Structures are given as structure tokens and as C-alpha cells.
Amino acid sequence: MKNQQKIFQHSFQLLALFLMSSLIFTSCSAQTNAQKKENTSSTEQSNEYNELTAEEAHVILDKGTDRAFTGEYTDKFDEGVYQCRQCNAPLYVSDSKFHSNCGWPSFDQEIKGAVTRVKDADGRRTEITCANCKGHLGHVFYGEGLTDKDTRHCVNTTSLLFVPKKVKGTKETAIFAGGCFWGVEYYFQNATGVISTQVGYTGGQTKNPTYQDVLSHKSGHYEAIEITYDASKTDFETLAKLFFEIHDPTQANGQGNDIGQQYKSVVFYNNDEQKNITNRLIQQLKKKGFNVATKLIPATTFWSAEQYHQAYYEKGGGTPYCHKRVKRF
């Protein structure tokens, strides 16, 4: 009988130990999962903003720091505006930038309302973040006597995107593909700030392509339009919005009845600014319910099309058969 009691007691103890171990394991697992969720949340990025590289995410989302004296903006003093790399919000004008010899871009004043100040957890320093997207910028320091404002915003180059001042008469280009290039050119020819347009072929591998080369689907090129515009009278964002409103950016296989690779919707970006602006506009359209199929491709050689394709509707009259403007912004 005593042996049976001992066996029972021993079994009960083992069962209790097993149950306690299970509870501890479950609790630890829950904590681990919570920690994982907490740790990964800082690297999650809203799809409303510009896509970040791993290095950019480390600084902007995880509050990392550029190595001193390595950023391209540390000693840059051109006229322009410094924007948030993640959301394009204007943060600083070049007039507020100064030499501090600290190894990072330094500003003594932000654009009003553009920057938020947050005390670090240890209370020793004050972090600065973009007021719009909360992306990490750097830290702010006072009492150093470096400028009359006695303030130094120490900002990571990685957190910034510099946009040079647009001088009157400055020419810039934009390249769009959105179906038959006759119709696309029709809507851009008389747009405010546009200096000239030409239709042509780009994005493929064939040099000096002809219209027949493109029709054969062997050249890899798209029918596109190159727009030269006065950057003091209009900007890329205005032109890109027009592009998204004069064709159907949700059609993946062409445009209207024009089906094929050469008729697909593409923005050929010339720089990061154009790429970021396009990404932001696409996200805005997606939030409105548009399943955007438009591709982003780095701009390469633009080959002018045959003369009879240039200003087609202006010379021959009529209006586009597969393009019309639909308000989307």
C-alpha cells in the first residue's frame, strides 16, 4: 500500500512538474514572439512612402547612424531644399546649413513644423525625426555657439534627399510610356512648362530601332515620349500626375486595344527624385483602389522615332483613339 502511495505521489509530482514546464515554455514563447514582433516593427515601412534600401532602413527606421565624414551632403552647400528621404517632406533649406566640422550635415534651423524633437530614453540627448513620417534624422544640440541661433541639427545624410533650386530656364526631361505614343504626346505638347516633346523608343536592346523593329517584339523597346520642360514653370510630379490621368495605369498588357509589350505603362526615371515621386504617386493611387501596373525602369538611351510619328495629331488633326484624361488626383 505504501509503495502504491509513493508511486502515486511520484506520478503526481511528475505531472505537476510537466504542467509547470509547459506553462513556463508557453510564457517564454509568448514573450519571444512579442519581442520578435516588437523588434521587427521598427523595420516595417508604410507602403505610402518611398522604398528604402537596407542601409537606409537601418538609419531611418532603426535609428542607426552614418559613419562620420562619409555622407555626400556633409560638405554640400548648393542652393536647394533637403527633403526627408522616406516621404519627401521638405525639412531644411540650404541657407540654414553650416560648417560644423562634426562629420555630419549640420543645420541651425528647420522648416517650420517639419521636425519633431523627442528625448532619448536615457534623457541625455534629443532625437529629431521627420514630423510627417517619424523617420529618424539625427539629434539636435544647443549651447555650442556655432551660429547666432546657437542650435545644431546633426542629421544623417542617409535620412536626406537634396533637391537643387530650380533656376529659371533650367531644362529637365521626363520619359513616359503609356500605349500608342501619338496619344501620349497629344496631351503633353501644350502642358504648362513643356518646352518640347518627341516620341521614340526606349527600354530595349536594339540600337537605332525602327518602328518595324519594335512591332516585331524582338527589340525589347517601348513606345515612349521624351518631354523637355522648364523646371521653374513645372515639375516632374505635375507631369507624372498628368501621365497617370491620360492613360489607364491598371491595364497590364497594353493600352486599350493596343496590346503588346511595347504598349505597356512605364515611367523611365532619370534620378532618385523622379523614382521616389513616382513610387509615392503609385501608392496614392493604390490607396484609392487602383491596381496600378505601371513599371519603374531606369532611363537609358532614348531613340527618336521616324518623323511621320512626331506631333502626329497636331499635323493630321483628330484626337487620340485610346487616351483621354480622367481625374485621379
Q: Catalytic site residues?
A: 154, 180
Helix axes 272-287, 236-246, angle to 10 degrees: 40
C-alpha cell at 6: 509513493
HSE at residue 95, side-chain half, CA atoms within 13 A, is 3
Displacement of CA 260 from its chain's centroid (Å) = 28
10 Å CB burial of residue 59 (0-12, 13-18, 19+) is buried
C-alpha closest to that of 107 among 77, 70, 131, 72: 77
Pair 192, 233: CB distance under 8 Å? yes
84-97: b or e for each residue (b if 16 or more CB lie within 10 Å)? Answer: bbbbbbebbbbebb
Residue type, 276: N
